[in-house]
Structure 1
Amino acid sequence: MHLHKSADVVTTCEPFYLPSGQEVAVFGQCHANNLAVMLKGPTGCGKTRFIEHMAWQLKRPLITVACHDDLSASDLIGRYLIRHDGTVWQDGPLTTAVRTGAICYLDEVVEARQDTIVVLHSLTDYRRMLPIDKTGELLEAAPGFQLVVSYNPGYQRMLKDLKPSTRQRFVAMDLDFLPFDHEVTVIERESGVDHATAHALVSLAQRLRKLQDRGLSEVPSTRLLIAAALLFKGGIAIKQACYNAVVSPLSDDEFLVGAMQDLIDATFV
């Protein structure tokens, strides 16, 4: 069973999130009206942090599932386990969320198999029910349950996408990289580097993101910038930190790596 999920807990400390629009208000209304939510945006733009912040604000437990192409319906719903004294049913993360009124966050949902995604349909309309075929239980969602999915449209457009019949069951929210000053603030807050360094890192990122038109399939995320800032904070030279945390994870192409290194040299003179 290849499944990764977070613990079913309510976060006690507020996860830092800096809104750039009306996303907090929109999500709050979706939760109040039992509407499922689809978060769309590039890798590392803050989708996971946003949902962590909203779970804290709404005082709901959060269960996160990292989707992949081997994810089965049983991985989400549950299965019988064989023990020395017989068999016992174990709820999967989706069933646990439905039963306890938690927020269930399916990260990169299009990576899951289509037959797995279909099991979500009865939870995303007025029924708010989860049929558990193996036990015969028809489970009604507890108050507070909300289904949230995310994916990267730019990356998935070339590979997979959600069917229209699935997409129309969600309220879609478009998230993107933060405005310049906001991203600087996030890097300062998350890494502890000084303002000038955070400013330079965001300047570098904006230059690197323009390389997407020149063959770079993934652009540097805020997450990578924070990693570079943490390396620098720990004593690594800034150019080396940028290479290890930003350039090398993004590409092995000699031309692109050279172009990114040139931009680093131009940013940190």
Structure 2
Amino acid sequence: MTETAAQAEPYYLPAGNEIDIFERCHEQRLAVMLKGPTGCGKTRFVEHMAWRLKRPLITIACHDDLAASDLIGRFLIRHDGTQWQDGPLTRAAREGAICYLDEVVEARQDTVVILHALTDHRRILPIDKTGEIVQAAPGFQLVVSYNPGYQRMLKDLKPSTRQRFVAMDLDFPGAEQEMEIIRQESGTDHATAHALVTLAHRIRSLRDRGLAEVPSTRLLIATALLAKNGIPVKEACYAGLISPLSDDESLVSAMRDLVDATFL
């Protein structure tokens, strides 16, 4: 769990009207669901919107072992007795922060259910262990994200949960936008950014050949940073782009061939 209050504007290049939709949702106290592939900018978008709306941001990385008490809070044993400690979701509700649950489908269903009362007109969070009912402060907003590519029958949100959110579909940016993002984030030159985006588009076409995850904009930025800081560009691609994607020898070989063809 991380809590941030950005001082400098987190760089984000919009692909459509997602900023306007998010702002209207915040005004109307509507929860937001972000859907999109890994590394397409969902987290950066939330960071940018928190800065834009001047709200603190509490980020929670969801996983299989995430329990309701991890979000709500628990009693801690002290030398002089027990003391209640708010969890990140409770703190966000009290403080009027934006609470961002990253990859929410990874959390258990019984954990996700506790979000329901915060995502409708009630905007409350009942704390069973203390009997308190926390009324969400003005400015509180719940945002969740997930990667539809990872959906499975046992890893999906219930319809009763999904319909409590305004959903936005995010994807990798267009070629020109992705080039600009890489240049801004890494400081690399136009030619390198163009070549990396061209390479990424070629590799993304391998999804139908068994590649589970295609290269994200995040990986392209990491590769550009390596190349800009002295690593030969092909080696930077092998380490920053190819190796993280797969261990399958045939796929790795095919991707390395694409690197060699791109950077002659």
* TM class, shorter-length: over 0.9
User: By how many angstroms is 1:12 displaced?
Assistant: 1.0
Which of 199, 216, 219 is the aligned partner of 2:214?
219
1:73 is aligned to: 68
User: By how many angstroms is 1:258 displaced?
Assistant: 0.6
- The CA distance in 2 between the partners of 1:79 and 1:61, in whole Å, is 23
- Which residue identity does 1:236 align to in structure 2? I
Q: Which runs of 4+ in 1 moved over 6 A?
A: none
User: By how many angstroms is 1:211 displaced?
Assistant: 0.5
- The CA distance in 2 between the partners of 1:246 and 1:166, in whole Å, is 35
SS at match of 1:173: strand
SS at match of 1:161: coil
- The CA distance in 2 between the partners of 1:157 and 1:226, in whole Å, is 29
1:83 is aligned to: 78
2:2 is aligned to: 6
- Which residue identity does 2:2 align to in structure 1? S
1:29 is aligned to: 24
Write the mapping of 1:1-269 to structure 2, written as runs, cut at 5 A: 5-7=1-3, 9-157=4-152, 160-269=155-264
SS at match of 1:30: helix
- The CA distance in 1 between the partners of 2:228 and 2:43, in whole Å, is 24
User: By how many angstroms is 1:159 displaced?
Assistant: 5.6
- Which residue identity does 1:11 align to in structure 2? A
- The CA distance in 1 between the partners of 2:159 and 2:82, in whole Å, is 39
- The CA distance in 2 between the partners of 1:159 and 1:77, in whole Å, is 24
Deviations 1:76-99 (A, max 9, x none): 000000011111100000000000
SS at match of 2:126: strand
- The CA distance in 2 between the partners of 1:191 and 1:245, in whole Å, is 13
CA distance 1:73–1:216, change in 2 (3 Å): same
User: By how many angstroms is 1:10 displaced?
Assistant: 2.1
Deviations 1:167-188 (A, max 9, x none): 0000000000001000000000
Deviations 1:224-260 (A, max 9, x none): 0001001101111111100111110110001100110
- The CA distance in 2 between the partners of 1:183 and 1:155, in whole Å, is 23
Equivalent pairs counted in the alignment come to 264
- The CA distance in 1 between the partners of 2:102 and 2:15, in whole Å, is 21
- The CA distance in 2 between the partners of 1:158 and 1:197, in whole Å, is 41
User: By how many angstroms is 1:163 displaced?
Assistant: 0.9
Alignment RMSD = 0.8
Q: Percent identity?
A: 74
SS at match of 2:244: helix
- The CA distance in 2 between the partners of 1:241 and 1:232, in whole Å, is 6
Q: Which stretches in structure 1 are left out of the alignment for 5+ residues?
A: none
User: By how many angstroms is 1:157 displaced?
Assistant: 3.9
SS at match of 2:195: helix
Q: Which stretches in structure 2 are left out of the alignment for 5+ residues?
A: none
- The CA distance in 1 between the partners of 2:81 and 2:180, in whole Å, is 55
SS at match of 2:83: strand
Deviations 1:9-31 (A, max 9, x none): 42110000000100000000000
